[in-house]
Amino acid sequence: MKRAMFKTRQQLILASSSPRRQRFLRNLGIEFTVITADIDETPITGEAPDTFARRMAQAKAGAVARAKPRCWVIGADTVVTLSDGTILGKPANEDEAATMLALLNNTTHRVMTGMCFCCLEQDIETTLVETTEVTFMDVPEQALKAYIQSGEPLDKAGAYGIQGRGSFLVRSINGSCTNVIGLPVNRLVQLLLEHNIIDTPL
């Protein structure tokens, strides 16, 4: 049996139902519970992508922290954005997925994850936005259609998943790969260690 990398010392809550974010923590042996927040995730007209990602992360973490003020809470939100600042959310159907992938094809876009880490009782909050640049190769139209028909794009921001079948779309990335998947794990682990939420069991 493999030994856990980290020992969890304080109660930690992930304010996200994302299986990908949960998997990151479990793979590191970090213990946590999941409590999701029901918030309005509509961008404000003219809102910059990084501002939106930060606001969503704070709203998710804040809603849970108010109910669990003694716990440490992680909130996160990931957006895909074009060079003009347009935010691409999850496509509603295959046609929207096709439109999004056509916009991303053979171009470089940004993936931004807002993350809020807080404990209300200790009056501590750290909020950040991590940005990764992703460049798509020039994908033939038929290959894009086949990917859309696989069903994977329909529950992903920007209509692709770099950790799944959509990995073939990507020529290169500049920045954190885990950030593209939904959580800047390196930044989070640094915060957890700094606040003695986790430590090594050695």
- Known catalytic residues? 77
Backbone angles phi, psi at 47, to 5 degrees: -70, 130
Residue-wise burial string across 121-143, b where 16 or more C-beta atoms lie within 10 A, e elsewhere:
eeeeeebbbbbbebebeebeeee
> Angle between the 94-104 and 141-149 helix axes, to the nearest 10 degrees?
140
Q: Return all residues near 169 (Cβ < 8 A) that are at least 6 apart.
A: 101, 104, 105, 136, 137, 139, 147, 160, 162
Beta-carbon contacts of 68 under 8 Å, excluding residues fewer than 6 positions away, are 13, 35
